[in-house]
Amino acid sequence: MSQGAEATEQTDTPAGAASAEAPKGSGLELRNLTKVFAGGVIAVEDVNLTVEHGEYVVLLGPSGCGKTTTLRMIGGHEVPTSGDVVLDGESLLALSPDKRPTTTVFQHFALFPHKSVLENVEFGLKMHGVSKEARRQEATETLEMVGLSELADRKPSALSGGQQQRVALARVLVTKPKALLLDEPLGDLDRLLQLRMRVELRNLQRQLGLMFIHVTHNQEESLSMADTIVVMNDAVIQQVGDPLTLATQPANELVATFMGDNNVIRGTIESRDGDRIVVDDGHVKASCIATGDDRGVGDAASLSVRAAGLLLAEDEAGGGAGVNHADCEIVFVEYLGDLIKLHLSAAGERMTAKVPGDLYERLRGSEGSAIRVNWKEEDVQLLAAS
């Protein structure tokens, strides 16, 4: 996966994401892709992106950020205002959705209620003129692949939500697309089914070796499934990277706040000693290593501190006297089983700490109490200047 100049970070394609025998220039390329709706509303602006065959990519961002419009332009359901969509060196713009080597799985399964599971899966092949015998064989094999062979004769109304989702997947996979596009595919499922389908989707993608491009606003979903995450906001790409990079090294404040529970400290640089800077927001001071950044004393700076890096005061954190700690009030204690999410207020600024779940007995009912949290310098990331 690579991207153009509008993004703040570029990362290498994950090892093994594409076949070693893939031809030169293969994969999907979005070239200066732009979509402007009536009234001058810019939905997607000058997006450049490359996705390799065999890569699982998630387009992530808040509602209205441009991720779904981008997916629809890849699939042919929206016409770009400018730019190009290229697959294996060939532009797709002149092709209608049904002629493109891509297939879309929408959030709403849209199965034919009067047709059996097998007939639903056969439908796409029927539209492509495949003979009845051939399409019956292909559909049967595809149902076996998604584990639904025994349900071939049932109607969709007799299936669970997860089973219906697998039928929807089988219906598009049977056409053997080069790229599978998934638009909020888990959005209509309850949480337990979502967790199961994450595993099934990811394993299926690895088994097939297909390019999957998956749209979601769910950070947990993206972190658990993607080889590469593309964070979008305000019609442009904010950052591209693997899940670990996005979670621990956010490029800017938007990515830091959107990717989980990073705490953002906004202030000015109080001191600089080589690459080490100390930022003061008037209440909290934090230090980090700012290699490659030339901002100096008095300049504005924002830092991201991982919630999982915050420790209670009696735990060892380091960082020097007066730096890398915050005196807070506990606003809410959220018990999540293996961990506790502490919602904190530091002089009115929101902070979040994730601490082990076995501390719950001690912390339960402690809302309103004072607490000090520490963090290590290596858990602090300087964010790009806005």
pLDDT of residue 15: 32
pTM of the entire predicted model: 0.84
Place of tokens 């991201």: 304
Q: How far apart are the first and last CA of the chain?
A: 25
- What are residue 240's DSSP bridge partners? 230
Task: Give which of 339, 354, 341 is closest to 308, Cα–Cα.
Answer: 354
Rounded CA gap, 241 and 358, in Å? 33
pLDDT of residue 229: 97
Residue numbers of the chain with a pLDDT score lower than 70: 1-25, 314-321, 386
Asked if domains 2-101+177-248 and 261-382 share a fold, the reply is no
- Domain map of the chain by residue range? 2-101+177-248, 261-382
Domain range 2-101+177-248, its CATH number among 3.40.50.300, 3.40.50.970, 3.10.20.600, 3.30.565.10: 3.40.50.300
Q: What is the pLDDT of residues 260-296, one digit of tens each?
A: 789 999 999 999 999 999 999 999 999 999 998 999 9
CATH fold for the domain made of 261-382: OB fold (Dihydrolipoamide Acetyltransferase, E2P) (2.40.50)
pLDDT of residue 194: 87
pLDDT of residue 386: 66
pLDDT of residue 321: 59
Q: What is the pLDDT of residues 69-128, one digit of tens each?
A: 999 999 999 999 999 999 999 999 999 998 999 998 887 777 899 999 999 999 888 888
Q: What percent of the chain has pLDDT over 70?
A: 91
pLDDT of residue 192: 85
pLDDT of residue 319: 46
The answer to whether the CB of 254 falls within 8 A of the CB of 106 is: no
